[in-house]
Structure 1
Amino acid sequence: MGTLTAFPIRPPSRVGASTARVAMVAAPFAVLPIALAAGAVGEVGRLVECPPLVLAAVIITIFALGSRGLHLDGLADTADGLTSSYDRERALEIMRRGNTGPAGVAAVVLALLVQSAALAAVLALPWGLLTGIVLLCLARSSLLIACAAGIPAARDGGLGAMVAGVVPRVLGGVGALVAAAIGAAVTVLSGRPWWQGIVAVALAAVVVAGLVLRCRKRFGGITGDVLGAVIEVAAAALLVALAAGR
């Protein structure tokens, strides 16, 4: 919770691979307080008949504030790094500076636009508020892919070096099955066919895996910024997949 949210949680006395592994696996549960706050605001918005797109934007904002905007910052830095010089060290230096460039701004704006529009469509479904919030929490399970065994850190030090490769592939596979089951359950609850939830999780996994592999090729591995980027990309993919159809 201390890493993935804005809540001031006392850090563990000892940090190692096992601690990092638990943190990455438990990432979807770390944002439950944010989810409860978003759900409460969303329910009030429904009662006062707030337009779905406005309500969706407010819910996305609550999740962004609850994480101190770190995931969006990671998305911006990753986009800047990927669109900068093909020199690895220069790209990492651009990401380290944190000065958001045109690519970073475009990535954040487009991600928020897609997430808000797709969430607005999900909110129109039966139990749409619950479904949308569950999917936003489920997006954090993308860290199982980003931190899978065999994926190195791009540089020494930082969050990326601490969590790179800490999730065994078997555990990641189990996590994917659990995510697919949860996705199928909320999809049925919202009146969609069960398989659409599984497709949503699979689509998010493919998109995240593609991004991670691209970052590995360009940067040599993952960084803390890449972790934020995969969460935002996964959220967009999950919401878009569930918003599709009638």
Structure 2
Amino acid sequence: MRNAVAGWALAFSWLTVLPVRGPADIGRPEGRRAIGAAPVVGAALGAVAAGLLWVLLWAGLDPALSGLLTVGALALLTRGMHVDGLADTADGLGCYGPPERAREVMRSGGAGPFGVAALVVTIGVEAVALGALGAHGAWLAAVTAIASGRVAVVFACRRGVPASGTRGFGALVADSQPLWAAAAWALPLVAAALWAVPGRWWQGPVVIAVALAGAALLVRHCVRRFDGVNGDVLGAALEFTVAATAVGFLLGS
């Protein structure tokens, strides 16, 4: 029980700006437990985002603007590391050269044209989609979409997916999650998705399955390109899944 609590604390310490203290010594066991608790952080962030979105829409703001402000608030609450990872991953995938060169581009600290384009499109899609979900009163769908990104991270850290290096965040958490643990988090996500699209109970679970499969394909491509995953790839998988899930919930509405 103590280890589980420590994992939750480290997950909130790593993945949010909350002043939560994790364990003093952090190794792979602690990283494994923290990633295993990432969906809990996602659900909490989703609830906060849905509440903020409700307030903004209640105040009379346009849904798209409300969604954009909500996405911005999420970036602040997570130190912007996921969107930074998205930009770095896009730049790494867009460059020429061997995996070493791609990883060097990702570590450069700046955002190139591929990274900027990925940020603009993904943040724009998330903002408009979340705003539209809020305008439809689909609060559970908004929470589920945000939580889905953290479930994708658990899948991205499953056993058999190597780290791209021996240092950094990826080295702590890659190849750490048994497949059953990822599947165990996918089940409540799919259950919540049953109520995400009113009148079409089947659409939500299908969207979750497609979004997680798409994230898995993205991670697989990154493993080939970078010789493994790192923290940037996890951020990219997270943001992709949130955007894809939110858009999927809106199809046919």
Percent same amino acid at aligned positions? 37
Structure 1 portions without partners, runs of 5+: none
Structure 2 counterpart of 1:133, from 134, 140, 143:
143
Q: Is the 8 A contact 2:140 2:192 kept in 1?
A: no
- Aligned AA for 1:6? V
| TM-aligned CA deviation for residue 8 of structure 1 | 2.8
DSSP 3-state at the match of 2:60: coil
Contact 1:5/1:31 (<8 A) preserved: no
For residues 51 and 192 of structure 2, the distance between their equivalents in structure 1, rounded to whole angstroms, comes to 21
Q: C-alpha deviations, 1:56-76, integer Å up to 9, x for none?
A: 111111111111111000000
The Cα of 1:138 is off from its aligned counterpart by: 2.6
* 1:25 Cα deviation from its structure 2 partner: 2.0
Q: 3-state DSSP class of the match of 2:148?
A: helix
2:184 is matched with which residue?
Answer: 174
Within 5 Å, give how 1:218-233 maps onto structure 2: 218-233=225-240
Distance 1:137 1:176 in 2: 10
TM-score, normalised to structure 1's length?
0.92
- 1:54 counterpart (32, 44, 65): 65
1:19 deviates by 2.1
Distance in 1 between residues matched to 2:199 and 2:131, nearest whole Å? 16
Deviation at 1:33, TM superposition (A): 5.1
Moved over 4 A (4+): none
Write out per-residue CA displacement over residues 31-79 of structure 1, whole angstroms, 9 at most, x where no aligned residue: 4554444333222223222211111111111111111111000000000
The two structures, once aligned, show a CA RMSD in angstroms of: 1.7
Give the AA of the match of 2:63. Answer: P
Q: Do 2:203 and 2:249's aligned partners in 1 also have CA atoms closer than 8 Å? A: yes
Counterparts of 1:212 and 1:110 in 2: how far apart (Å)? 19
- In the superposition, the TM-score normalised over structure 2's length comes to 0.89
Gaps of 5+ in 2: 1-11
Return the match for 2:20 from 4, 9, 32.
9
- Inter-partner Cα distance in structure 1 for 2:48 and 2:212: 27
Counterpart contact for 2:190–2:208, Cα < 8 Å: yes
Deviations 1:145-186 (A, max 9, x none): 110100000011000000001100122222222221122233
